[in-house]
Amino acid sequence: MSWTEEDLGEGKSALAATFEFEDFKSAWSFMNQVAEIAEEMDHHPNWSNVYNRVSIVLSTHDKGDIITERDRALAAAIDELV
């Protein structure tokens, strides 16, 4: 998957990606898998779901909403699911 780095202004940044699936059920299954990984890593995404699309934004809040290795590690783990 291709994650993009987004400049959120005021020194803040995030990794963002949108995933598209065959249907809602497949998208929801993916979100459940991501939730398990995120919980294990204690690093939770900001995300949204509309039908077969899941948009995910990752940043590390306790470091000032910037991209850290924790975000890159979670992005890589998510990529392994698709």
Note the pLDDT tens digit of each residue in 37-61: 999 999 999 999 999 999 999 999 9
- Looking at residue 1, its pLDDT comes to 62
Note the pLDDT tens digit of each residue in 13-36: 999 999 999 999 999 999 999 999
User: What whole-number distance in Å separates Cα of residue 14 and Cα of residue 46?
Assistant: 10
Structural domains counted in the chain = 1
pTM of the predicted model as reported, rounded to 2 decimal places: 0.94
Is the pLDDT score of 11 beyond 80? yes
Bridge partners of residue 27, in order along the sequence: none
User: What whole-number distance in Å separates Cα of residue 11 and Cα of residue 21?
Assistant: 33
Domain that holds residue 24: 4-79
- CATH of residue 21's domain is 3.30.1360.20
